[in-house]
Amino acid sequence: MSHALARYAAVVLGVVVVSGLLMSLAFHGPGDFTAIWTSGAVAVALQLAAFAVGRVAGQAGLMARMGAGALIRFLGLVVYALVAVLVLKLPAVAALISLATFLFLSALLDPLLIKT
């Protein structure tokens, strides 16, 4: 694991833990806790995948890097929506709002953490 990826992973993990704790205060129905932290694990994996692909796509320019990351996040959210609700039977609202929040907040930090 490169130094940049390790630093990025630490920041994303911090964002997920802090925002996950705050969302746990708002969502306290049956299964919401599991949905939030499952979404957190998925968000970390998606963000690290987007970071790795973005590093490769970065050779083509900033727009390619941003587009590749956005595509991975979007497809991950769509697939997770189907898997979380239909297969894992997680509460849809808590699972999808938490994943979208984790991805949005950590994507806001991308420009600060990713250097070309």
What is the number of domains present in the chain?
1
pLDDT, tens digit, 9 for 90 and up, residues 8-31: 899 999 999 999 999 999 999 999
9 within 8 A of 44, measured Cβ to Cβ: yes
- For the whole model, what pTM was predicted? 0.89
What angle do helix axes 62-82 and 92-108 make, rounded to 10 degrees? 170
With respect to residue 116, please indicate whether it lies within any of the assigned structural domains. Answer: no
| Residue 21 domain boundaries | 3-111
Within a domain: 66: yes
The pLDDT tens digits for 66-79 are 788 889 999 999 99
Q: What is the pLDDT of residue 112?
A: 75
